[in-house]
Structure formats: structure tokens, C-alpha cells
Amino acid sequence: MGIDQIKIIYTYTIATIIVVGGLAILYFARLDPPESQSQNLSLVIAGFVGIALQFVFQRETQTSTARQVERGIAVGAASQPTVTTNSGPPTTTTVTPPEPLPDDAP
């Protein structure tokens, strides 16, 4: 079992606990007397459950995305050709003037 599978199991376990706990609170709050304003409590609890689930799955998504990018970079780097450069003094070209022609004087 790899680390990714362990993290997925951990993430879904946390999500299940959050959802079951939120549903249990909502279930037990339904029998409150009408003057207790439990309808407002239900909205707040549902909001907290949604925020907690978003946080848990957002972290898992970010982690898996970072791993995929890392693997993609490694594959891309491995498939690139190796470039070798030689260092040293630059090549120079020297131009010398031609020898003067001899005079044809007698």
C-alpha cells in the first residue's frame, strides 16, 4: 500500500466522520422546541460541515496536483536531449596583407 492510498483512506475517513457528525447534530436538533431557533443552528452546522469538507478535499487535491506536476517535470527532463558545449578561447581569424610585388624597374 503506497503513501497515496493511505492519504486517500485518511481523507475519506475524515470526510465520513465530519458528515456523520454533522448529520447526527442536525438529527438531534430537529426535536428542539420552536422557540430555540434550531433552524438557524441547522444552517450554521451545514455551513461548517461544507467548509470542513472543502478544506479536507482541497488539501488532497493540491497534494496530488503537486505530485503530478513533479512527475511530469521529471519525465520531460528525462526525454530532453543532452547538450554539450565546449568552453575555451573563441576562435579568431587573422588576415595578413599580401607580400608586395617586386618592381620591374631596370
% pLDDT > 70, the chain? 81
Domain that holds residue 22: 3-78
- In-domain check, residue 66: yes
* Number of domains, the chain: 1
48 in a domain, yes or no? yes
Q: How far apart are the first and last CA of the chain?
A: 104
Which residue type occupies 97?
P
Tell me the pTM.
0.51
- Range from 6-20, 40-54, 80-94 carrying the lowest mean pLDDT: 80-94
Cα 97 from chain centroid (whole Å)? 65
Q: Is residue 89 part of a domain?
A: no
